[in-house]
Amino acid sequence: MLRLDVVAMPLALARIASILAHRQFNVLTMDVAAPVDGLRRITIEVDTADELGLERLVKCLNRAPDVVKVVRFSDDTSHHRRGAFVAVAFPEGRLAEVVAIARAFSAEVVEAGRTRCTVFAAAEPAQVDALVDALSGFTIRELMMAAPLRMPRFLRKGHTAVDRAHTWRRS
């Protein structure tokens, strides 16, 4: 998982995408935030187990003229959450079962009718996947998952997550 701070200029996103394509990385998710103070935050989840290739990608991104900062997050140094909306259809009278499943996974029913409802969950990706599996006994009409969110962990005094988050800055 990479988080980039990029100058909010036309074609900056296209240049980032072309770097990823040129290096032949499979992008799982890419989330582009609205510009704030002239910078745009881009979160990219790439599918790779190749540490050396990922290191090279980070160096290549750092050399891009639009990139201000690249932060690499790993599973052990960051909190990882994913949001999902699940639209579920079910036979009349079975709403209570869907609500019970949603509560078991700390999810929320945001809209409900006699034969369909929408469930929202924001949790670790494995828990969101388990919720979807539990609801698969009903008819899932629509599933919308947001790009994953990551934030560095703040540890007790003497331990710093930022030191282990592999932060690279431009000089």
Predicted local distance difference test score (pLDDT) of residue 61: 92
**How many residues appear in the chain?**
171
What's the confidence (pLDDT) of residue 171?
A: 42
Q: What is the pLDDT of residue 155?
A: 57
What pLDDT is attached to residue 28? 83
- Count the Cβ atoms, other than its own, within 10 Å of residue 114: 11
Strand ranges in the chain using DSSP code E only, listed in sequence order: 2-7, 26-32, 39-47, 67-72, 78-89, 108-112, 116-123, 139-145, 149-152, 167-169
User: Which strands sit side by side in the sheet containing 26-32, from one edge to the other?
Assistant: 26-32, 39-47, 2-7, 67-72, 167-169
pLDDT computed for residue 161 by the predictor: 46
pLDDT, residue 158, reads 56
H helices then E strands: how many in the chain?
Answer: 5, 10
Predicted TM-score of the model (pTM): 0.63
Q: Which domains does the chain have, with CATH numbers?
A: 2-72 (3.30.70.260), 80-149 (3.30.70.1150)
- Contact at 8 Å (CB) between 4 and 44? yes
- The series of mean pLDDT values per 10 residues for the chain, 171 residues long, is 89 91 86 91 83 88 92 72 92 94 95 95 90 94 82 60 46 42
| Predicted local confidence at residue 165, as pLDDT | 45
The reported pLDDT for the residue numbered 167 is 47
Q: What is the rounded distance in angstroms from the CA atom of residue 130 to the CA atom of residue 103? A: 13
Residue 48: the pLDDT is 75
> What pLDDT shows up at residue 109?
95
pLDDT at 166: 45
